Structure 1
């Protein structure tokens, strides 16, 4: 579905986009939002119980466990939010982690700019820098029992298959992550926060005192943190 957008609407959308997420690296611009029908996760999901943890500090409580990590990373503009999921080894390292996130399918900067006005085709997987710890701006890692992990992954796959479009304001990367969090029974903050702030707020709203997470300095929108330099 492609909406009819007048000049004043475009201006409004561009203003809203300033608070939306974007993923960019090198000489290509890439963002992480999708426009399309949002899944009604809160009513279609099942209760998710976090696996027991033994420590509030990092990997000690994640060894050998299935997990989902809500993460944001720095980029040349707003940043990007997404999820990483899989299983940890006995040392607390990710084993073949998988990524789900939303971005314009094309690396053409013109397509990205067009996506601030009308929906554009989207990708729903990995983008450059997602798994590089140096670019992480915030995170929240949730250990899961295997049965719950399987249900969450099935929902992520369904969401990826039903999210063919990206729009910087109508349905962005935060909104995609929020759908997953809602499915798991979590409260979610507003989708127009910067990705770093969105993930931090998500953790604060739901993680409790033993939340496994991280928040780094403000991103390049505040002029305080380096952006990814590698090109996709």
Structure 2
């Protein structure tokens, strides 16, 4: 039985998606912090003025993981004060929706998911300190993205794609959306900080 052109495309796409999920995560990667220009702030006055942040994060999960952002204010020691989380994931905790979402789009949620702020699950992160204006612009874009992102589909618009949109809005380059979350966040940081 010969596969038609559409059947071959489907087999190739499924093989690509499956192969991207076969690599293993590394041990948790160190936390990185930089200012909006890609370098760590060293000036004390600059540190005091940049109390807002966005942190691009990945975490471990029973599957291949999750990519999302955490944003808000930090105290003088860098500890988060009332952080908010935004990411894209299937709206239902039912594993069937996650599996179906690898083939067709499923309804999505754009807020926090279980484990996002639990340190033991963090696999990689990159925190960018922002001025008030940069922060306000970024948060407005995140809110707009949350309002318009209604569907999740693993190979078309997944959690990496959602975070990539935020990064590109901020002027950063973004890696392929088909990487594992830990690789995605690591590559995002490396592409933009040298």
TM-score range, shorter chain: 0.7 to 0.9
Native 8 Å contact 1:73 1:79 kept in 2: yes
Gap change, CA 1:167 and 1:180, over 3 Å in 2: same
Confirm or deny that 1:67 pairs with 2:53.
yes
Confirm or deny that 1:113 pairs with 2:81.
no
Alpha-carbon distance in structure 2 between the residues aligned to 1:75 and 1:127:
11
Alpha-carbon distance in structure 1 between the residues aligned to 2:53 and 2:135:
7
Native 8 Å contact 2:50 2:130 kept in 1: no
Q: Give the aligned partner of residue 154 of structure 1.
A: 140
For residues 133-187 of structure 1, give each alpha carbon's deviation from its aligned partner in whole angstroms, at most 9, with x where no partner exists.
1111111000000111000000000001111000010111111110000000001
Q: Give the aligned partner of residue 191 of structure 2.
A: 205
Structure showing greater radius of gyration is 2
Alpha-carbon distance in structure 1 between the residues aligned to 2:48 and 2:155:
35
How far off its partner does 1:90 sit? Answer: 2.1
Confirm or deny that 1:184 pairs with 2:170.
yes
Higher relative contact order (CA 8 A, sep 6+): 1
Q: How high is the TM-score relative to the length of structure 2?
A: 0.80
Q: Give the aligned partner of residue 138 of structure 1.
A: 124
1:28-43 to 2 correspondences below 5 Å: none
SS in 1 for 2:97: helix
SS in 1 for 2:182: helix
1:94-105 to 2 correspondences below 5 Å: 94-105=80-91
Gap change, CA 1:11 and 1:142, over 3 Å in 2: same
**Cα RMSD for the two superposed structures:** 2.3
How far off its partner does 1:16 sit? Answer: 3.6
Q: Which runs of 5+ in 1 are unaligned?
A: 1-5, 21-47, 56-60, 209-232
Alpha-carbon distance in structure 2 between the residues aligned to 1:202 and 1:192:
13
